[in-house]
Chain A
């Protein structure tokens, strides 16, 4: 005989302001199976919880319905209270009469009616609830960090310094990411590589970190605490153990004019190369597409020059399997292709470059050794025009969001230019100067006041070439008139966009992404470093445009989440898992295919003599995540979900 307690929460005025809680309570008191029903101002407060516990004990309740806010808010609170009163926590259900009722309706009478229906429906469900016991699963205390930029390195170091093992996977030949390409960093103007390379070395030498460069994550299976990850080690054609990184092969390689990816095509590289001088590891890779040997079958000069015989043209890709407990995704960003802006002439005029290319010019390790030179004739530009929001905040051609870092790096570019070319003049076309951050506004003011950067508030309509100059036509909206500037170089503050394969990769690892391809956090404000998939965390610009301090902060935050997960040997999981009725299972294996967690196996049912009677599906509760995909697929409805059984759902629907 069901003895259900119904507790109607006012939530201050949030619920009681619209719903007649007395009427709702009275209606529930009349409902068959309800032993006790009363209302209270705040059930989540201690006295409220105590009154629920007392009601459970006094009435020997067999189930509890809290008519209150969303289960996402207080389900855990109330289930815990029930458990303390000796009731199985899974016999407590939440009827959401706030988010799904009082907040969204204007007519109080109708809202009350609806609240009665919602609550009644949950009472009907809870009558069929069963005692469930939490499932314990072991945690593999080893983390995978995907992406070897500053965010990935920071997360890996934080986890490793806490004593846990880390696998750090980077798809390029060296750690470093975009930060290693930068010249100086705002707002302190310290050299990017000088602060980056020690971190790279620290990560590479850390006994707890296994660094895999030139490697890509091929697949991720499993679930929180127990991921199975396959990593593809792309063939470098150079043996990492024998190579000392002497660089002789690079010097002798006859193919020398390949545009360097690291130098944004300003510099050139050879077919066997390291991306940059301070690369970690310092082992070169052979670019198969451009190598003479791979194209024609002849050359092998690098192999002949290498005294250690480290070059191996027969090297194959290798797949390594890892058991992983938590994953930090730090796959970073790309800069937008500016050729969509025909009017700015990017790609058409050599001296129109993007911000990242300017970084390479300004960098001491860059192809010009830190001199700002025009790509067309190698002369020092006397006037440089910077165009901000070249892609950002532009719904028509670019992206709608603000890329966040461009105001600051453009201010920095103008400042670096002023420091390197004393007679030069820098003009910046801007929409707004967004300099929110520690020391940021002071930095832009310093550019304007000390380095005489000229800021023009307005957009640029066209850039064209005339007498060896780049003519920039824009508008100064503060003066209210058009301006034309004859420049020697134009720098576009290009938008930050997700990696081109970000969406595909999200599907490989099983996390969500937004319309652009930035990875979705579980909650924008309260869970910004967690993905919606348990055990997978986000760090850096793969989630949204970020500068270095933000990326580092988020990386450390993600690391702390990983460490919290690793602090226990076992993980307690909700017992919401699928079960199979073997008597009715038709053995079609649709569920085996449909299951995203590979949690369903084939099971033979045999008689006493061992003769096969039938084959059925069998759910492994340790692997099952309770997503219900198999349940919806099963044509004979043999599969069912504990806590959400068909009978319960049916009763819930019929209770309406």
Chain B
């Protein structure tokens, strides 16, 4: 039986037994290579479930829909390793309790998918740790390497050009599982720190603030970049922030839910290159 079929059986079981009140997965999207989220509350809805190599969206953010978890009932969600790390971070930041989330883990290798064993996010500790190890030794992205070679002026011009396309639709924010604030700073107009109109300064402000708010929290799932209607390479910014946090604090986000948020915690051996 294929992984998809195995999981269909499992999801039906989860729903019919009443263990979970909802399963969040994928179903067919508008085109052949796109998937959309599928929220299953009854076993009948499971027939539409699709699980294949096109299921790349990190679904963990949907768990934080207003009131969804407040009744204390469990919810199952299909997650790749990056999504499992998101659960750990969200638990560390008190946005959910990991024992309320049943992880239906899977991984994509080329066009193949495979199931990951485990029920709670904490069951995947070995996986998240090895992902940490792999990230440490990961070859730098060629575009990232190209940017590093540039002079500051060239790099500024590169981002000025990229951000000039930004229309402030905030799709990147809506797609990101880490952007859970009920009121985002850009929605606050007393004072209006980030200009709403779409000019260079305001665009810089928004995109850089977003990148900073994700430093040490981003799992590099790519939701933001895929959501961007004007193709700003947001992933590159996040990648750079991840590199910086790894180098400076040896912190890889989402290894476990006991990890302290790196920018909120202070350790005696933190590097203090800018403080005397």
Chain A residues in the interface with B (C-beta under 8 A): 504, 507, 515, 583-584, 586-591, 593-594, 596, 615, 633, 635-638, 646-647, 650-651
Contact of B268 (CB < 8 Å), options: A507, A515, A596, A637:
A507
Complex CA–CA separation, A651 to B93 (angstroms): 32
Question: Are B193 and A633 in contact (CB-based, < 8 A)?
Answer: no
Contact of A593 (CB < 8 Å), options: B260, B268, B276:
B260
Q: List 23 A-B contacts (CB under 8 A).
A: A583-B183, A584-B181, A586-B95, A586-B180, A587-B94, A587-B95, A588-B95, A589-B94, A593-B260, A593-B261, A593-B264, A594-B263, A594-B265, A596-B266, A635-B181, A635-B213, A636-B182, A637-B188, A637-B193, A647-B190, A647-B191, A650-B191, A650-B193
- Given the contacts A635-B213, A647-B191, A590 and B93 also touching, CB distance less than 8 Å: yes
Number of residue pairs spanning A and B whose beta carbons lie under 8 angstroms apart? 57
What chain B residues lie within 8 Å of A635 (beta carbons)?
181, 185, 213
Contact of A636 (CB < 8 Å), options: B93, B94, B183, B264:
B183
A414 to chain B, nearest CB (A): 40
- Given the contacts A589-B94, A647-B191, A650-B191, A633 and B263 also touching, CB distance less than 8 Å: yes
Complex CA–CA separation, A586 to B190 (angstroms): 18
Size range of the chain B interface in the assembly: 20 to 34
Complex CA–CA separation, A638 to B182 (angstroms): 10
Complex CA–CA separation, A504 to B272 (angstroms): 13
Question: Are A588 and B191 in contact (CB-based, < 8 A)?
Answer: no
What chain A residues lie within 8 Å of B180 (beta carbons)?
586
What chain A residues lie within 8 Å of B261 (beta carbons)?
588, 590, 593
Contact of A646 (CB < 8 Å), options: B94, B95, B191:
B191
Complex CA–CA separation, A302 to B161 (angstroms): 80
Question: Are B181 and A636 in contact (CB-based, < 8 A)?
Answer: yes
B114 to chain A, nearest CB (A): 33
Question: Are B185 and A636 in contact (CB-based, < 8 A)?
Answer: yes
Is B134 in contact with chain A by the CB < 8 A criterion?
no
Question: Are A636 and B190 in contact (CB-based, < 8 A)?
Answer: no
What chain B residues lie within 8 Å of A646 (beta carbons)?
191, 193
B215 to chain A, nearest CB (A): 11
What chain B residues lie within 8 Å of A591 (beta carbons)?
264
Question: Are A588 and B93 in contact (CB-based, < 8 A)?
Answer: yes
Chain B residues in the interface with A (C-beta under 8 A): 93-95, 180-185, 188, 190-191, 193, 213, 260-261, 263-266, 268, 276
Question: Are A589 and B93 in contact (CB-based, < 8 A)?
Answer: yes
Other than the known A593-B265, A596-B266, A646-B193, what 20 A-B pairs have Cβ atoms closer than 8 Å? A504-B268, A586-B95, A587-B95, A588-B94, A588-B95, A588-B261, A589-B94, A590-B93, A591-B264, A593-B264, A594-B263, A594-B265, A633-B263, A635-B181, A635-B185, A636-B181, A636-B185, A637-B188, A637-B193, A651-B191
What chain A residues lie within 8 Å of B185 (beta carbons)?
635-637
- Given the contacts A594-B264, A636-B185, A615 and B94 also touching, CB distance less than 8 Å: yes
What chain A residues lie within 8 Å of B264 (beta carbons)?
589-591, 593-594, 633
Complex CA–CA separation, A591 to B93 (angstroms): 11
Complex CA–CA separation, A286 to B54 (angstroms): 68
Which chain A residue lies CB-closest to B275? A512
Complex CA–CA separation, A646 to B264 (angstroms): 20
Complex CA–CA separation, A590 to B262 (angstroms): 9
B180 to chain A, nearest CB (A): 6
What chain B residues lie within 8 Å of A593 (beta carbons)?
260-261, 264-265
A130 to chain B, nearest CB (A): 15
What chain A residues lie within 8 Å of B94 (beta carbons)?
587-589, 615
Question: Are B263 and A636 in contact (CB-based, < 8 A)?
Answer: no
Complex CA–CA separation, A637 to B94 (angstroms): 18
Complex CA–CA separation, A583 to B188 (angstroms): 12
What chain B residues lie within 8 Å of A637 (beta carbons)?
185, 188, 193
What chain A residues lie within 8 Å of B260 (beta carbons)?
593
What chain A residues lie within 8 Å of B268 (beta carbons)?
504, 507
